[in-house]
Amino acid sequence: MKFSKKEIHYALMGNLLGDAYLRKNINTQHWVESVHTNNQRDYVMWLKELYENWELKTTSRFDFTRKTSYGYFTYSQVSCKLQTNRHVEHNRLYNDKGVKYFSKYVGNRINIFGLLLWWLDDGSLTVHKKSNGSISRHGSLSTHNFDYESQIRIQKMFKERFNIDVKIYKAKKGTFYIYFNATNFRKFFDLLRPYLHMIPTSMMYKFNMQYTENRLKLLSLHHLIQFY
Protein backbone atom coordinates (compact mmCIF):
# COMPACT_ATOMS: atom_id res chain seq x y z
CA MET A 1 0.00 0.00 0.00
CA LYS A 2 1.43 3.33 -1.12
CA PHE A 3 1.76 6.13 1.45
CA SER A 4 2.61 9.77 0.75
CA LYS A 5 5.34 11.49 2.79
CA LYS A 6 2.65 13.27 4.80
CA GLU A 7 0.81 10.00 5.51
CA ILE A 8 4.08 8.39 6.64
CA HIS A 9 4.72 11.34 8.94
CA TYR A 10 1.27 11.04 10.52
CA ALA A 11 1.61 7.26 10.84
CA LEU A 12 4.95 7.56 12.66
CA MET A 13 3.17 9.64 15.29
CA GLY A 14 1.46 6.43 16.37
CA ASN A 15 4.83 4.73 16.69
CA LEU A 16 6.08 7.54 18.91
CA LEU A 17 2.96 7.60 21.08
CA GLY A 18 3.63 3.94 21.77
CA ASP A 19 6.91 2.28 22.69
CA ALA A 20 9.11 4.14 20.21
CA TYR A 21 11.00 7.28 21.12
CA LEU A 22 12.96 10.04 19.43
CA ARG A 23 16.69 9.40 19.51
CA LYS A 24 19.16 12.12 18.57
CA ASN A 25 22.44 11.05 17.03
CA ILE A 26 25.76 12.88 16.96
CA ASN A 27 24.66 14.82 13.87
CA THR A 28 21.64 16.18 15.82
CA GLN A 29 19.28 14.24 13.57
CA HIS A 30 16.24 12.60 15.09
CA TRP A 31 15.41 8.93 14.60
CA VAL A 32 12.32 6.95 15.57
CA GLU A 33 13.66 4.00 17.57
CA SER A 34 11.83 0.89 18.79
CA VAL A 35 13.32 -1.77 21.05
CA HIS A 36 11.46 -4.93 22.02
CA THR A 37 12.31 -8.19 23.72
CA ASN A 38 12.62 -11.07 21.30
CA ASN A 39 9.14 -12.40 21.99
CA GLN A 40 8.22 -9.59 19.57
CA ARG A 41 11.09 -10.12 17.17
CA ASP A 42 8.67 -10.68 14.28
CA TYR A 43 7.09 -7.32 15.02
CA VAL A 44 10.47 -5.56 14.94
CA MET A 45 11.27 -7.29 11.63
CA TRP A 46 7.91 -6.13 10.28
CA LEU A 47 8.64 -2.53 11.33
CA LYS A 48 11.99 -2.74 9.57
CA GLU A 49 10.35 -3.90 6.36
CA LEU A 50 7.65 -1.24 6.72
CA TYR A 51 10.18 1.59 7.07
CA GLU A 52 12.18 0.28 4.14
CA ASN A 53 9.04 0.07 1.99
CA TRP A 54 8.41 3.70 2.92
CA GLU A 55 11.94 4.43 1.64
CA LEU A 56 13.10 5.75 5.02
CA LYS A 57 16.71 5.44 6.06
CA THR A 58 16.60 2.45 8.40
CA THR A 59 18.99 0.76 10.80
CA SER A 60 18.42 -2.37 12.87
CA ARG A 61 20.06 -4.96 15.03
CA PHE A 62 18.69 -8.25 16.28
CA ASP A 63 19.29 -10.75 19.05
CA PHE A 64 21.44 -8.68 21.38
CA THR A 65 21.49 -9.20 25.15
CA ARG A 66 21.01 -6.64 27.89
CA LYS A 67 21.22 -6.96 31.63
CA THR A 68 18.21 -5.61 33.53
CA SER A 69 17.15 -5.62 37.15
CA TYR A 70 15.19 -8.81 36.32
CA GLY A 71 18.12 -10.58 34.67
CA TYR A 72 19.42 -10.92 31.11
CA PHE A 73 17.05 -10.57 28.16
CA THR A 74 17.46 -10.72 24.39
CA TYR A 75 16.25 -7.78 22.35
CA SER A 76 15.80 -6.56 18.78
CA GLN A 77 15.81 -2.94 17.65
CA VAL A 78 14.88 -0.89 14.59
CA SER A 79 15.18 2.83 13.82
CA CYS A 80 14.14 5.08 10.96
CA LYS A 81 15.22 8.64 10.22
CA LEU A 82 12.66 11.42 10.48
CA GLN A 83 12.15 13.51 7.38
CA THR A 84 10.74 16.51 9.23
CA ASN A 85 12.28 19.32 11.29
CA ARG A 86 13.69 17.66 14.39
CA HIS A 87 13.06 20.61 16.75
CA VAL A 88 9.45 21.03 15.66
CA GLU A 89 8.78 17.31 15.82
CA HIS A 90 10.21 17.05 19.31
CA ASN A 91 7.94 19.84 20.57
CA ARG A 92 4.89 18.16 19.06
CA LEU A 93 5.54 15.00 21.05
CA TYR A 94 7.40 16.03 24.20
CA ASN A 95 6.67 18.78 26.72
CA ASP A 96 9.26 21.22 28.07
CA LYS A 97 10.30 18.60 30.64
CA GLY A 98 11.06 16.06 27.93
CA VAL A 99 8.03 13.91 28.80
CA LYS A 100 5.75 12.53 26.09
CA TYR A 101 2.35 14.15 25.80
CA PHE A 102 -0.58 14.11 23.38
CA SER A 103 -0.61 17.48 21.65
CA LYS A 104 -3.44 19.10 19.72
CA TYR A 105 -1.25 18.91 16.63
CA VAL A 106 -0.95 15.13 16.91
CA GLY A 107 -4.64 14.73 17.75
CA ASN A 108 -5.63 16.55 14.58
CA ARG A 109 -3.26 14.64 12.31
CA ILE A 110 -2.53 11.09 13.42
CA ASN A 111 -4.02 8.81 10.79
CA ILE A 112 -5.65 5.39 10.98
CA PHE A 113 -2.40 3.56 10.28
CA GLY A 114 -0.82 5.58 13.08
CA LEU A 115 -3.57 4.36 15.41
CA LEU A 116 -2.79 0.81 14.32
CA LEU A 117 0.91 1.25 15.17
CA TRP A 118 -0.04 2.74 18.54
CA TRP A 119 -2.36 -0.18 19.28
CA LEU A 120 0.24 -2.77 18.28
CA ASP A 121 2.57 -1.25 20.88
CA ASP A 122 0.22 -0.34 23.71
CA GLY A 123 -3.19 -1.86 23.00
CA SER A 124 -4.66 -4.79 24.87
CA LEU A 125 -7.87 -6.72 24.17
CA THR A 126 -9.24 -8.61 27.16
CA VAL A 127 -11.74 -11.45 26.73
CA HIS A 128 -13.11 -12.93 29.93
CA LYS A 129 -15.98 -14.90 31.39
CA LYS A 130 -18.41 -13.09 33.69
CA SER A 131 -19.87 -14.59 36.86
CA ASN A 132 -23.10 -15.36 34.97
CA GLY A 133 -21.16 -17.43 32.42
CA SER A 134 -21.36 -14.97 29.54
CA ILE A 135 -18.25 -13.89 27.68
CA SER A 136 -17.25 -10.23 27.49
CA ARG A 137 -14.45 -8.25 25.93
CA HIS A 138 -13.01 -4.78 26.27
CA GLY A 139 -9.99 -2.95 24.96
CA SER A 140 -7.52 -0.73 26.76
CA LEU A 141 -4.82 1.57 25.48
CA SER A 142 -1.92 1.92 27.90
CA THR A 143 -1.65 5.70 28.24
CA HIS A 144 -0.41 5.60 31.84
CA ASN A 145 2.58 7.80 31.07
CA PHE A 146 0.47 10.65 29.70
CA ASP A 147 -0.89 13.44 31.88
CA TYR A 148 -4.64 13.88 32.37
CA GLU A 149 -4.85 16.73 29.87
CA SER A 150 -3.43 14.38 27.24
CA GLN A 151 -6.04 11.76 28.17
CA ILE A 152 -8.79 14.31 27.52
CA ARG A 153 -7.30 15.16 24.13
CA ILE A 154 -7.07 11.47 23.23
CA GLN A 155 -10.69 10.93 24.20
CA LYS A 156 -11.72 13.98 22.16
CA MET A 157 -9.72 12.81 19.14
CA PHE A 158 -11.42 9.40 19.07
CA LYS A 159 -14.89 10.96 19.36
CA GLU A 160 -14.58 13.92 17.01
CA ARG A 161 -12.51 12.30 14.27
CA PHE A 162 -13.62 8.65 14.37
CA ASN A 163 -16.95 8.63 16.29
CA ILE A 164 -15.54 6.21 18.86
CA ASP A 165 -16.49 6.75 22.49
CA VAL A 166 -13.70 5.84 24.89
CA LYS A 167 -13.55 6.34 28.63
CA ILE A 168 -10.69 7.48 30.82
CA TYR A 169 -10.13 5.00 33.63
CA LYS A 170 -8.00 5.61 36.68
CA ALA A 171 -5.29 3.06 37.38
CA LYS A 172 -3.00 2.54 40.33
CA LYS A 173 -0.66 5.28 41.52
CA GLY A 174 -2.84 8.02 40.06
CA THR A 175 -2.25 7.16 36.41
CA PHE A 176 -4.91 6.81 33.71
CA TYR A 177 -5.62 4.73 30.62
CA ILE A 178 -8.07 4.68 27.71
CA TYR A 179 -10.89 2.10 27.84
CA PHE A 180 -13.01 0.74 24.94
CA ASN A 181 -16.21 -1.16 25.71
CA ALA A 182 -17.19 -3.99 23.36
CA THR A 183 -19.30 -1.78 21.07
CA ASN A 184 -16.63 0.86 20.63
CA PHE A 185 -13.82 -1.62 20.25
CA ARG A 186 -15.81 -3.10 17.38
CA LYS A 187 -15.87 0.37 15.78
CA PHE A 188 -12.14 0.62 16.31
CA PHE A 189 -11.60 -2.84 14.81
CA ASP A 190 -13.61 -1.88 11.73
CA LEU A 191 -11.60 1.32 11.40
CA LEU A 192 -8.32 -0.65 11.35
CA ARG A 193 -9.66 -3.60 9.34
CA PRO A 194 -8.32 -2.44 5.91
CA TYR A 195 -4.75 -2.67 7.25
CA LEU A 196 -4.94 -5.84 9.32
CA HIS A 197 -3.80 -8.05 6.45
CA MET A 198 -0.46 -6.22 6.64
CA ILE A 199 0.50 -6.96 10.24
CA PRO A 200 2.42 -10.02 11.51
CA THR A 201 0.26 -13.02 12.37
CA SER A 202 1.97 -13.10 15.76
CA MET A 203 0.31 -9.76 16.63
CA MET A 204 -3.25 -10.78 15.72
CA TYR A 205 -4.02 -11.74 19.32
CA LYS A 206 -4.59 -8.01 19.83
CA PHE A 207 -7.69 -8.34 17.60
CA ASN A 208 -9.40 -11.43 19.03
CA MET A 209 -12.99 -10.96 17.81
CA GLN A 210 -14.21 -14.46 18.67
CA TYR A 211 -14.97 -14.09 22.37
CA THR A 212 -12.48 -16.85 23.18
CA GLU A 213 -10.66 -16.67 26.50
CA ASN A 214 -7.07 -16.72 25.28
CA ARG A 215 -4.66 -15.07 22.87
CA LEU A 216 -5.33 -16.66 19.51
CA LYS A 217 -1.84 -16.31 18.07
CA LEU A 218 -2.29 -19.40 15.95
CA LEU A 219 -5.69 -18.49 14.51
CA SER A 220 -5.54 -17.58 10.85
CA LEU A 221 -5.47 -13.93 9.91
CA HIS A 222 -8.20 -14.51 7.32
CA HIS A 223 -10.52 -16.05 9.92
CA LEU A 224 -10.10 -13.12 12.30
CA ILE A 225 -10.73 -10.46 9.67
CA GLN A 226 -13.71 -12.22 8.12
CA PHE A 227 -15.40 -13.03 11.44
CA TYR A 228 -18.94 -11.53 11.69
| pLDDT value at residue 214 | 45
CA separation for the pair 170, 139 (Å, rounded): 15
Kindly list the averaged pLDDT for each block of 10 residues, start to end, along the chain of length 228. 89 96 75 95 98 96 93 96 72 88 96 98 88 84 96 98 97 93 95 96 88 45 38
- According to the model, what pLDDT value does residue 221 have? 41
Give the model's pLDDT for residue 39. Answer: 94
* Cβ count near 19 (within 10 Å): 18
